[in-house]
Amino acid sequence: MSHICADCHKQGKGCCLINEHNNQGYIGISINDINRIKEYSQINQKEFIIEEYKTDQEINLLVKHYHPIFEKIYTNNRCFRLKTIDNHCIFLKKTGKNKFGPCILPDEVRPLYCKIYPFWMTTDNKYITILPSNECLAQRESSISWTMVNKYFNYTEEHIKNLFSQILSEYNNHAKIVKDMPVIDLKDNYSLCNFRKLQISDLPRIKEICIDIWDGDDYMPYIAEKWVNDSNGEFIGLEINKTVYGLCKLSINVPDIVWIEGLRADPHCNIKGIANAFYQYILKHVKDNYPQIEQIELSSYFDNIASNKIALRNGFELINKASFKLIELNNYKHIRNNQKPDINVITNTEIILQFLFNSDFNLSNRLFLGWKGIPIENRYIKYLKTLASKKIVHYNFKEQDFDLNIGVNYNNDKNETNLIYISYNQPLNKDLLILFNNAINFIIKKSIEQEMLIVQMIIPIQHPLLSVINETAFISYDQEEDFYLYRKFITNS
């Protein structure tokens, strides 16, 4: 250790001090470094290595401003760095309370980055530069140039270039090894997870996570700010090393039910088990902090095999199945100019409540705003009255002896139109189907005027309308039973 490094350690600063205020946490060590330390110290890797994850944005900045080798250092976004004690590297000799001496590793065992710091090479590998740091005493006492800083180290130019050549070689090998390593599974590493309420400052990261989900058509970026500010629940992030990798919304619209929605995992991170980690956290969090909650509910798509397995594994019961139907409104050009039926908009809350309670779209005492369940029970009448008066538009369509009623929710936050219930006074026949098509065309036009992206509904499998729905503007996905409803009862024992 040079005298300047010894002086730096005496001041309790320097490159071996790793905290949120300096940049040393950005530097990962290689698999070869780890193996040298293991062979010398005869201790398990878990005793001295922390595995972290870096975002694409962090890596791209380092590649752009420092060197392309950072892409290899953080292969698959993984970073292996030395553990710390009191924010100091684990291999610094402790000499007293908050006092640390020199590194206990011999020079030939130390990580290559430690040997070369604070020097580095330019992106073209031609010239020596330095990695700027306010913690480096040599930099604080000299001009920021490698020749001036080097007066404290007295390294030859050849020595620095040889070290960097070794770094390039070892990190290329490191990248090949890490690329084939299994992804980290959070079920064995829950200590890595930090769950917290998301804030306005998290909105850019939320957008980054969702940008490639469903080809960029995810509603999450549109509703995220409202969810952050929603007092009826919590919008939670799963954070690892101060970076958010997962999202989940708990909605509490009635006193004793939590609805889980908006579960997302960063599709570009090499972390397995984010959804399961959320389930484990939510079950404990709800039990510890919401003693009034009696049940947790959620819905899932049939083909989301991982989500369905995780729900069942965590004690949720599959209580019903239904069919999801939708109309995609982007560039919609198929509205027929059929005769417009007589249309009445009913605003009477009591009438809307009657349709809610008597609807044959009811699924285990739930109707649906998109994929979110509304509990249709008398004990929730206050909530349902508010919903009926503020969020449901009831259309009554008449044509000769036919009477068709449709409850519609225009969700401007998610840019979706939800059909909550459909009721008609005659058995299904050709004339009623024509009226239904005309009614749907009317709703499509209204939806386009309000800049909605889809019209959708959840319809019970046994509903007679399901047999003729494919003759309308609605489309289906892969199978009829594609909507799954789950529930778990919470016990306080």
Rg of the chain, C-alpha, whole Å: 30
Q: d(Cα 129, Cα 181) in Å, to the nearest integer?
A: 33
User: Is 445 part of any domain?
Assistant: yes
CA distance 427 to 160: 86
Q: Which residue has the higher pLDDT, 53 or 235?
A: 235
The confidence score (pLDDT) of residue 47 equals 85
User: pLDDT > 70: what percent of the chain?
Assistant: 94
Structure tokens at 271: 């972390």
How open is the CA angle 331-334-336, to the nearest 5 degrees? 145
Same domain, 191 and 154: no
Confirm whether 315 is domain-assigned: no
Is residue 444 within 8 Å of 409, Cβ to Cβ? no
The pLDDT, as a whole number, for residue 289 is: 94
pLDDT of residue 295: 96
Contact in structure between 218 and 210 (CB atoms under 8 Å) = yes
Instruction: Tell which wins on pLDDT, 448 or 215.
Output: 448
Query: Using CA atoms, how far apart are residues 358 and 361, in angstroms rounded to an integer?
Result: 9
* Interatomic CA distance for residues 25 and 12, integer angstroms: 17
Q: Are 309 and 273 in contact (CB under 8 A)?
A: no
60 occurs within a structural domain: yes
> pLDDT: is 286 or 493 the higher one?
286
- Residue 486: its pLDDT value, please? 98
Sign of the dihedral defined by the CA atoms of residues 329, 333, 338, 340, in that order: positive
Instruction: Establish if 213 belongs to a structural domain.
Output: yes
281 and 341, same structural domain? no
Q: Are residues 358 and 478 in the same domain?
A: yes
- Nearest by Cα to 241 from 192, 191, 281, 183: 192
pLDDT, tens only, 133-180? 777 888 888 877 888 888 888 889 999 999 999 999 999 999 999 988
Q: Which domain does 246 fall in, by range?
A: 186-293
For residue 118, is the peptide bond before it cis, meaning its omega torsion is within 30 degrees of 0?
yes
Note the helical H segments in 299-398. Answer: 305-313, 349-358, 381-390
Query: How many domains is the chain built from?
Result: 3
Q: Report yes or no on 311 lying in a domain.
A: no
**Which residue in this structure is represented by tokens 């889980």?**
260
Q: Is the pLDDT reported for residue 364 higher than 80?
A: yes
Closest CA to 368 of 409, 308, 423, 320: 409
Distance CA 153, CA 162 (A): 16
CA dist 410 and 231 (Å) reads 21
At 314, list the tokens. 């965590």
The 10s digit of each residue's pLDDT in 222-231 is 899 999 999 9
pLDDT per position as a tens digit, 41-86: 998 887 888 887 787 778 888 898 889 999 999 998 888 888 887 7
Is there a single domain that holds both residue 284 and residue 329? no
CATH label of the domain that carries residue 257 = 3.40.630.30
Q: Give the whole-angstrom CA distance, residue 119 versus residue 127.
A: 10
Q: Do 269 and 329 sit in the same domain of this protein?
A: no
- Per-residue pLDDT band for 285 (boundaries 50, 70, 90) equals very high
Per-residue pLDDT, 333: 64
- Considering the domain architecture, whether residues 105 and 14 belong to the same structural domain is answered as yes
- Residue that wins the pLDDT comparison between 332 and 378: 378
Domain final residue pick, 181, 202, 222? 181
d(CA 486, CA 313): 12
* Average pLDDT score, the chain: 88
Q: Is a pLDDT exceeding 60 seen at residue 24?
A: no
**Domain CATH code at residue 438:** 3.40.630
Is residue 122 a contact partner of residue 129, using CB atoms and an 8 Å limit?
A: yes
313 in any annotated domain: no
- Structure confidence by residue, pLDDT tens digits, 385-436: 999 999 999 999 998 889 999 999 999 999 999 999 999 998 888 888 889 9
Are residue 108 and residue 41 in the same domain, yes or no?
A: yes
Question: Is 1's pLDDT higher than 60?
Answer: no
Grouping H, G, I as helix, E, B as strand and the rest as coil, residue 252 is strand
Q: Which of 136, 151, 181 is the last residue of a domain?
A: 181
Q: Is residue 71 part of a domain?
A: yes
Rounded Cα distance between 75 and 255, Å, is 46
In the predicted model, is pLDDT for residue 26 greater than 70?
no
Q: Which of 181, 208, 223 is the last residue of a domain?
A: 181
Q: Is residue 150 part of a domain?
A: yes
Q: Of 97, 85, 106, which is closest to residue 16 (Cα–Cα)?
A: 85
Same domain, 378 and 476: yes
Summarize pLDDT for 305-350 with one digit per residue, the tens: 888 999 999 999 999 999 999 999 987 766 665 567 789 999 999 9
Question: Looking at residues 351-358, what average pLDDT do you find?
Answer: 97
Give the per-residue pLDDT at 337. Answer: 56
How many whole angstroms separate alpha carbon 382 and alpha carbon 209?
37
pLDDT at 374: 96
Rounded average pLDDT over 4-15: 75
Shared domain for 11 and 139, answered yes or no, is yes
What is the distance in angstroms between the CA of the first residue and the CA of the last residue of the chain?
59
Neighbouring C-beta atoms of residue 214, cutoff 10 Å: 9
Same domain, 64 and 171: yes
DSSP-assigned states of every residue in 49-99 = EEEEE--HHHHHHHHHHT-TTHHHHTGGGEEEEE-EETTEETTEEEEETTE
**pLDDT at residue number 146:** 81
Please give the residue that has the higher pLDDT: either 158 or 477: 158
Same domain membership, residue 476 and residue 357: yes
CB 13 within 8 A of CB 137: yes
| Local structure of residue 200 (DSSP, 8 states) | G
C-alpha triplet 247, 251, 254: angle, nearest 5°: 170
Residues 172 and 77 in one domain: yes
